[in-house]
Structure 1
Amino acid sequence: MHPHPTLTQDAAATYAEWFASLSDPTRVRLLHAVSTASGGRIRVGDLAAALGISQSTCSHHVRKLAEVGFVRIDKVGTSSVVTVNPACCTGLPHAADVVMGTLASVPCCPEDLPADVATRALTEDDLPVVRDIYAEGIATRNATFETRVPPIADLARKWLPGHAWVAELDVDGRCQVVGWTGTSPVSTRDCYAGVGETSVYVTEGARGRGVGKALLHRQVTEADAGGLWTLQTSIFPENRASLALHHAAGYRTLAVRSRIARLDGVWRDTVLLERRRDAD
């Protein structure tokens, strides 16, 4: 008897197809070149020149990568433009984790917390700045499908009692709120009382200082202690920093939800992640 579910035949076939498409070094170089190109897009002619290969060879390998969904090809005038599929940035590492069994043991929570970031329970007085930070996230168009900033009163009713937190930094001698995290109920049914939907936002000027790491640490440890057995969240695949942060907090990628909803009229994918309490 296996301690963990075995890999299904369909999943194994899909992953094998992905890995096989990258068995050629030229395709690996090509995918890297597209992924690191400005805006994640580049013309086939420019791609061929960058790799030092003929345009026909380049087109052949691009088609192979497009067949498995790693890239997309669009006609722009007379040129073919190759665009990286951001979902592959999550899907491919997840496939490797599944195959190698590394998802059997996930981290509890982020480590190496910044010494200068403090977290505490969110209070009513924090709501205006929390709303402003949320507005910054909405403006990026890579944090949420929301396009309008909600009223403060709606924010106050959003989270589970005891599961909303802020992070503070000393800025010019004053302690300022620079980020927040909250957990909302996923259902009113009693059987889902221990399941929450999480959000994390950090103000632009404080990003890169470990604020998100401190907030995730507080979020997951308090959830474990407070009776929540499952946390879930959805993140745009373009938001690689947030994906990495959540993986470090023990969240697992469950699926890439293709074209799940429109934002500003454009279909967007999301990555569905879940964290289970160890005891459960």
Structure 2
Amino acid sequence: MTTRVPLSTSDRARPEMGRSEAEGYAEWFAVLADATRVRLLHTLSTSAAGAMRVGDLAAALGVSQSTCSHHVELLRKVGFVAVDKVGTASMVSVNAACCTGLPHAADVIMGTLSAPPCCPEDLPADVTTRPVADGDLPAVLDIYAEGLATRTATFETRVPTAAELRARWLPGLAWVAELDGRVVGWTAVTPTSARECYAGVGETAVYVAEAARGRGVGKALLFTQVTQCDEAGLWTLQASVFPENRASLALHRSAGYRTLAVRTRIARLDGVWRDTVLLERRSEIA
């Protein structure tokens, strides 16, 4: 199955889904339309060993070995699992590449995924963006504090100092948005690793002042972020967004970010385990 990335929310035409593509997606969902197969995948995914013998898998599911083998074969045909012979035993494991793409299928079918956009369109004429300056940092921190207070923007619970915040950012990859002469939003990129091989991979953040939301500030910031990061040679941008923050998810998808996974109970905020959606944008330039 070919996973496509999001189209921006514009009035350009979306391509029609072909019959063969629709049949492929239908086959995926048809195979999962069985409780035993769903349980089988879950059992494999949560197995500490990462792979199980068919006999052990059958015992865990409470079905006969022949029934288990039947379900395994159906899952193998569409790529959800892999089966390897180890001596006389058949070892079944989850096909991680295929299952990672599963969350995209529903998005494709519902029309939220299509050809990769460059960046958001319909940018507001009254919002300007520019590189962040030291004089912007008090406003940047105030906007960050507003986002922190919502408990839907970050796991952080403390507003950093200006020096701490700037030290996190990759040099030259932080911008602010201005509206009516005031800083009303910012975006920045932090490194994901100190290893040289990941020098072109950055984690992004976007914050918009509460009073300026709904004015296209986020679109303007994402336009600057993705185009400038492309020019800077970054080949991958990542973002982690709370699933409750639907506005942020839509904004990132409009800029070509695609969903990689939902990371369940990845960390705690105020003592409560929270999920995040891991998004990624791959540059077509770098």
Is the TM value for this pair above 0.5? yes
Letter in 2 for 1:128: P
Give the aligned partner of residue 187 of structure 2: 181
**Mapping 1:53-132, distance limit 5 Å:** 94-97=104-107, 105-132=115-142
Letter in 1 for 2:272: V
Give the aligned partner of residue 165 of structure 1: 175
- Aligned to 1:142, which of 136, 139, 152? 152
Any gaps of 5 or more consecutive residues in structure 1? 22-90
Please say if residues 241 and 278 of structure 2, whose CA atoms lie closer than 8 Å, have aligned partners that are also in contact. Answer: yes
Query: Are residue 218 (structure 1) and residue 224 (structure 2) matched?
Result: yes
SS of residue in 1 equivalent to 2:146:
helix
Please say if residues 124 and 156 of structure 1, whose CA atoms lie closer than 8 Å, have aligned partners that are also in contact. Answer: no
SS of residue in 1 equivalent to 2:153:
coil
Normalising by structure 2, report the TM-score: 0.64
Q: Distance in 1 between matches of 2:112 and 2:166?
A: 39
Normalising by structure 1, report the TM-score: 0.66
Give the aligned partner of residue 264 of structure 1: 270
Change (3 A) 1:201 1:4: closer
SS of residue in 2 equivalent to 1:243:
helix
Q: Bigger radius of gyration, 1 or 2?
A: 2
Give the aligned partner of residue 242 of structure 2: 236
Please say if residues 186 and 207 of structure 2, whose CA atoms lie closer than 8 Å, have aligned partners that are also in contact. Answer: yes
Change (3 A) 1:180 1:4: closer
Aligned-residue offset at 1:187: 0.9
Any gaps of 5 or more consecutive residues in structure 2? 5-20, 36-100
Deviations 1:227-265 (A, max 9, x none): 100000000000000000000000000000111111001
Give the aligned partner of residue 280 of structure 2: 274
Change (3 A) 1:101 1:191: farther
Matched residue pairs, number? 202
Aligned-residue offset at 1:129: 0.8
Deviations 1:14-73 (A, max 9, x none): 74477899xxxxxxxxxxxxxxxxxxxxxxxxxxxxxxxxxxxxxxxxxxxxxxxxxxxx
Aligned-residue offset at 1:121: 0.4
Q: Distance in 2 between matches of 1:3 and 1:145?
A: 33
Higher relative contact order (CA 8 A, sep 6+): 2
Q: Distance in 2 between matches of 1:102 and 1:119?
A: 27
Aligned-residue offset at 1:144: 0.2
Give the aligned partner of residue 95 of structure 2: none
Deviations 1:206-244 (A, max 9, x none): 000000000000000000011100000000000000000
Structural RMSD (CA): 2.9
Query: Are residue 248 (structure 1) and residue 247 (structure 2) matched?
Result: no
Query: Are residue 133 (structure 1) and residue 152 (structure 2) matched?
Result: no
Aligned-residue offset at 1:153: 1.0
- Aligned to 1:194, which of 200, 206, 217? 200
SS of residue in 1 equivalent to 2:179:
strand
